[in-house]
Chains A and B, each alone.
Chain A
Amino acid sequence: MLLSWHSINYRHFCVSTGENQSMDRQEAIEFLMDHYDNPRNKGPLEHADVSVTGGNPGCADVITMQARFDKDGKVEAVNWDGDGCTISSAAASFVTEITRGMTAEEIEQMSFEDLVEQLGRELVMTRPTCATLALGTLKKGVHEYAMHKRAEAAD
């Protein structure tokens, strides 16, 4: 939670007036804009265990998620690449920050609801498919990776 826009300011939990609401909204916008303008972990990843591209029907956004696991089964590097709208790009950058160090199982268990909350629900709720494209894509790739790992272990 430390990385989400909430950490900047907790006032959204006690919003009462329109002034505060727009102030929090502006902070949430700035949080997303920071990820959009200074994307984290963008570009191809070497020796990736997971590499999967995702998109939504009727939408031009295409995002590739790549991840590499260490010997303990935790993500040691995770990157994203592609062309997306403001929200899907910012969300992809954010997802690479929060999933580093997680196991495949932990990523598979992540909830879209939590992600939407961390990105700033009020801003992204009208565009949930953009907000969750990166995580959904990564989950799909990680799921396949985990299945292969299990199959290998069973052999």
Chain B
Amino acid sequence: MSGTESATSAANDATGYVHPEVLVETSWVAAHLNDSNVRVIEASEDVLLYEVGHLQGALKLDWHVDVQDPITRDFIDQQGFEKLMSRWGISNDTTIVLYGDKNNWYACYTYWLFSMYGNTNMKIMNGGRLKWEAEGRPLTKEIPHFQATTYHAPARNESNRAYRDDVLSGLKDANRRLIDVRSPQEYSGELLHMVNYPQEGAQRGGHIPTAKSIPWAIAANPDGTFKSADELRQIYSGKDIVPNKDVITYCRIGERSAHTWFVLTQLLGYPRVRNYDGSWTEWGNLVRAPIEKP
């Protein structure tokens, strides 16, 4: 893997990312589809896309089934994560490649979640499904099966995750920066969810006081790839989201904001960024939680 690692890094050097090794290009993935040390996982928002066709050898991550606690509003626990990795034939030294639809939105969400279980051997396929398809690369309906492995995960490290109390206690902290990555209509309180999605899940509309509105998808190019480091720095620094601040991202349930978390921590190297996955479906329902609404 070492030769390809350096090749990948070199390919991304031009973009100036702080951790270029977290991205792989579609051509790299195409060349590693039969690499037994690489496990490709599709994490798409559209639940039928995997069945329509997926990368050869790719597994499906279904957010409703695979990574959520079915009772409590939380993610699978340490043991659940180990079982999932084992079921997917992933061992501790397997390289995980994530890709999906909509600018790798759910792929980044998955990256955020898995990193809480100490997995540092993950890569996002830059451009996701959109770029793969645009390049005319093949898809298959064949479901792969892998022999179960043993996988050891450390206890969940939640340094990437913020809770409502963390948000509340930092509202007057001059070093705190909140980013609301939802659509402008959700930020303003006009909508409770994206256009065309059910307008439910929160009693109140608006945003958390002091939050800056930077919709998540602004970090992506039209072809689904991430914008260059210079462009990204301009976007975030332009709104006073700078590396020496304590940054918290949020959206409605924490998936879109995981994309921004990925951009800030992995591509721009911000040291202190947390994703508040309770997000608006928690904040917009909290009794007496302060809300800004123009």
Contact = CB atoms under 8 A, between A and B. Distances in A.
Whether A associates with B in a native complex is: yes
B196 A29 contact: no
Interface string B214-237: 000000000000000000000000
B90 to A, nearest CB: 19
Interface in A1-52: 18, 21-22, 25, 29-30, 32-33, 36-37
Interface string B45-56: 011110110000
Contacts of B48: 29, 32-33, 36, 86-87, 90, 123
Contacts of A87: 46, 48
Interface in B167-218: 195-198
A56 B62 CA distance: 26
B195 A36 contact: no
B190 to A, nearest CB: 13
Interface stretch (A74-82, A93-101, A124-132, A134-142): A124-132
Contacts of B46: 85-87
Nearest to A87: B48
Interface size class of A (residues with CB under 8 A): 20 to 34
A91 to B, nearest CB: 11
16 contacts: A22-B62, A22-B65, A25-B65, A33-B52, A36-B48, A57-B196, A85-B46, A86-B46, A86-B52, A87-B46, A87-B48, A126-B197, A126-B198, A128-B198, A129-B197, A130-B196
Interface of B: 46-49, 51-52, 62, 64-65, 70, 195-198
Interface of A: 18, 21-22, 25, 29-30, 32-33, 36-37, 56-59, 85-87, 90, 122-123, 125-130
